[in-house]
Structure 1
Amino acid sequence: MKFLIEQDVVFDSERMTLSRGNASTSLTVNETVLLSLLIDGIASKQAIMSRIWEQKGIVVTDASYHQLVRALRVKLGEQEVDAALIKTLPRRGLQFVGKVTPLGEPEPAAATVAEPPDAGSSDDNPSDRERSVAVSCDETSAAESHDMPVQQTALQFPGHRRRVVRIAAGSVLVAWAAVLVGLTFWPRDTVFTFHYRQTVNGIHYYSTGQMQQSALLKTIGVTPPPGSHVYQIERGKSNWLAVCPQSIYQSPELCNTYFVEQTP
């Protein structure tokens, strides 16, 4: 379905785009679902998280929710739509307060205040669900060095359940790796060095041990483009991976991270 936002920008929920004249901005599946929910009316944080992640069996932290809202605001800004039109209502959720008109309707559609349903069918196809495992890293600064602090025990998320999602038949489990690159849960007094480095087909690989990034990414259906920087940290039978368009120490917020567990 198509909507006219602020009488100037067309939102196409089927093509997952925002367009203004000849300029077009592509949306992710999750950004498209979020904007559709906000056009329907006020959406609580729990309703958004349930529709986008939990109905697919994915448990995420609040950081993933806030990151998605921030990403949608950026995409709207690319089409000169004021990001402040996505308004946060204390104890209620989010509301899009801009003017929205369904294309083909003679009169503008007024925003409703009904909560979006907590259950229902998802428009995402299986490939979309696999892509949803990728998480953009939270913004942070890091030294221009290939020494990275890590903790000596398994990575945990204080105050939240640890999410594990089976994405392929066999022995591979992928767990949500939100804000790992931000070093949020890594003590600063332990330094980890990527001793092994190589470049294959224009992709730069860095590892703490065995160079398994290519095989692990293939297992979870991720293909980094040429020029990418791929980092691997071995944690026993588990591996932390980061796929970045440039050095992780220059722009960590642009990286996608994965935590892959090998199970018997």
Structure 2
Amino acid sequence: MSKRFEGRVAFVTGGSRGIGKAIAQRFLEEGAKVAIIDINEEALVETKKEFEGQGFDVFVKKANVVNRDEVEAAVADVVEKFGSLDILVNNAGIIRDNLLFKMSDDDWQAVMDVHLKGSFNAARAAQKYMVEQKYGRIINISSTSALGNYGQANYATAKAGLQGFTKTLAIELGKFGITTNAVAPGFIETEMTKATAARIGVPFEKFIEARANEIPVRRSGKPSDIANAVAFFADEKSSFVNGQVIYVAGGPTV
């Protein structure tokens, strides 16, 4: 695999599992040094061990994206260890699905905090270093749910909000050599979608099969599909691609 990210440092939130882990793997394979923060310490330790077993240089730290101080400390640690911060991927996310009339205040606020406040905290911390070095790539992970999804008033709102956040950062930071774009996954096989299947009482294999039949390419997405799109936005050669949202969903979206 090419080493297009050699000499670059990537910071991935929520990178110990699923999509975030696949993104971290792609950057490592293509030569980047990678930092991961997550609240799941057990998964972090396991992921660090796995990546280092492949010979990769990776920094991990337990941190909650909702906590500004923890995020800023982690970003500072990464810059001290690796010398820069070139790529930020705001991937950390949670779901608290329910119909509107059943949704609690806590379910609403938790999703807003992780997706929106978390991305705000990380972007604000990272941009300080990116502005100084006159280079940066910020990639936010949105979702096709941003277009509306049954039982996800909180998640859909947060993911739509991330698209507005993306476009605004693109306008504000572009003059500093920093681009900001978003990837909006469709149905991807992860622990999160596995939990959704369990919640509605459907075996995961059946859940995947049913969803794949609705997708024009007739398959479900893999975390590596999202990593491919993130790598495109993160590429140094993508400097004229800014403020865009790409749907990686196996078919057109409306």
- TM-score of the alignment, normalized to the shorter chain, above 0.5: no
> Which of the two has greater helix per residue?
2
